[in-house]
């Protein structure tokens, strides 16, 4: 059997790694040179957590994925995962707190509910207002995305870097199966999943010299939701000088060939507002910024499904801003589907059929073919 994987971001790299592990001949194609900073799998850190507010059905996959990240670490000798715990902060009825709490209770997870006083006492880096509470998820931490992708690809014999797959027809005759893991470029290759690409900016904010509470041992990664300002997230400091902060969603609709890579002051103002409102010991000075893309489905849940008219084509669109942490388990599911024709894992939530009646969402100007930046 010969399998082609289109894309060497975390999803394609994980798929190729898990297929290669089964002794199957696999080639991974990427238009750039992964790990790279032009798609969705870059930026020094990614949060991994278990008390999943997005849906309790993700929890079994998350419980499975931690040992897989450790397996990859052992096989590659690279440090990929740092356990920090994670805080979901908001009012008790917010999606992040209520959702994380529900997942923790349903799956008896190692998690703790913190009231306002306890949250304030333990974590001086957070400004805690009346009504703010949190779920502390202990089975959580931070992954290094570039190192993860490099480690996965190091187990794949053939990685064709700088190779653009223009259409699936190019590969169908030479391979028994094709896995599309093209992230924000997916709609160039298939048109049966409604996807919207969203530009995201995150910034590394300077921390005050006396603010010693942001280190990974004292400051869990966090996601915070407020009625006024939506979702923000932050990662403990990795250099003792800066802390990475981003907004979750609320980015402009974009296209991978035309994304505005330059970060302007008006991109940073919303982040400054968030750090000034919700964090203590963070200055308005931004040392470094990066742009990245979310590939969103209409309900922000993943798609892992065969093409409706060709079961030799499998599509993985596992982003919507929260896919990285699942890389190895989604790669293994893809390997099950391609090599065995099915999987034991419950992937019923990821079927593309749920969008069958949904209208296609156009990209920023409805044109997929202009300005290719191969």
Ligand X SMILES: Cc1cc2nc3c(=O)[nH]c(=O)nc-3n(C[C@H](O)[C@H](O)[C@H](O)COP(=O)(O)OP(=O)(O)OC[C@H]3O[C@@H](n4cnc5c(N)ncnc54)[C@H](O)[C@@H]3O)c2cc1C
Which residues make up the interface to ligand X (CB under 6 A)? Answer: 6-12, 29-32, 34, 39-41, 43, 46-47, 164-165, 181-185, 189, 200, 202, 246, 292-294, 318-319, 321-325
Nearer to ligand X, 83 or 92 (CB): 83
Which DSSP string corresponds to 89-138?
A: EEETTSHHHHHHHHHHHHTT-SEEEE-HHHHHHH-TTB---TTEEEEEES
- Least Å distance, CB 117 to ligand X, is 28
Nearest residue relative to ligand X (C-beta): 9
Nearer to ligand X, 42 or 210 (CB): 42
Instruction: Give 94 or 200: the residue with its C-beta nearer to ligand X.
Output: 200
How far is Cα 173 from Cα 115, in angstroms, rounded to an integer? 59
**Nearest approach, Cβ of residue 114 and ligand X (Å):** 21
Radius of gyration of the chain (CA): 20
DSSP tally for the chain: helices H, then strands E: 8, 17
> In angstroms, what is the minimal distance from the CB of 115 to ligand X?
26
The three-class DSSP label of residue 48 is strand
> Residue 116 or residue 289: which is nearer to ligand X going by CB?
289
Min CB(71)–ligand X separation in Å? 18
Q: Which residues contact 135 (CB under 8 A, 6 or more apart)?
A: 51, 87, 88, 96, 97, 100, 101, 104, 111, 112, 113, 114
* Rounded-to-integer distance, Cα 84 and Cα 140, Å: 6
CB of 68 to ligand X, least distance (A): 14
47 or 68, CB closer to ligand X?
A: 47
């Amino acid at each position: 059997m010969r399998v082609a994987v289109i894309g060497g971001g975390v999803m394609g790299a994980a798929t190729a790694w898990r297929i290669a592990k089964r002794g199957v001949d696999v080639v991974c194609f990427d238009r750039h040179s992964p790990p790279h900073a032009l798609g969705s799998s870059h930026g020094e850190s990614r949060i991994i957590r278990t008390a999943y507010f997005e849906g309790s059905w993700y929890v079994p996959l998350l419980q499975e994925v931690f040992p897989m990240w450790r397996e990859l670490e052992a096989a590659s000798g690279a440090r990929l995962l740092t356990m920090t715990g994670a805080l979901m902060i908001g009012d008790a009825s917010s999606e992040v707190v209520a959702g994380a709490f529900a997942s923790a209770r349903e799956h008896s997870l190692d998690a703790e509910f913190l009231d306002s006083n306890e949250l304030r006492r333990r974590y001086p880096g957070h400004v805690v207002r009346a009504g703010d509470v949190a779920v502390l998820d202990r089975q959580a931490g931070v992954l290094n995305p570039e190192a993860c992708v490099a480690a996965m690809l190091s187990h794949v014999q053939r990685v064709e870097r700088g190779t653009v797959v223009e259409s699936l027809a190019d590969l169908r005759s030479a391979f028994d199966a094709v896995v599309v893991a093209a992230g924000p470029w997916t709609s160039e290759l298939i048109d049966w999943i409604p996807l919207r690409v969203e530009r995201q900016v995150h910034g590394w904010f300077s921390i005050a010299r006396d603010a010693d509470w942001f280190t990974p041992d004292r400051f869990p990664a966090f996601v915070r939701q407020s009625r006024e300002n939506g979702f923000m997230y932050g990662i403990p400091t990795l250099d003792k000088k800066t802390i990475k902060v981003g907004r979750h969603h609320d980015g402009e609709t974009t296209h991978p060939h035309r994304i505005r890579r330059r970060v302007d002051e008006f991109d940073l103002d919303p982040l400054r507002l968030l750090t000034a409102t919700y964090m203590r010991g963070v200055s308005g000075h931004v040392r470094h910024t990066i742009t990245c893309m979310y590939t969103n489905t209409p309900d922000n849940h993943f798609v892992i499904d065969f093409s409706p008219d060709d079961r030799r084509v499998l599509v993985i669109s596992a982003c919507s801003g929260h896919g990285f942490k699942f890389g190895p388990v989604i790669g293994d599911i893809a390997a099950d589907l391609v090599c065995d024709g099915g999987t034991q894992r419950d992937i019923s939530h990821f079927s593309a059929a749920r969008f069958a009646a949904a209208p296609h969402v156009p990209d920023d100007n409805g044109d997929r073919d202009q300005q290719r930046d191969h």
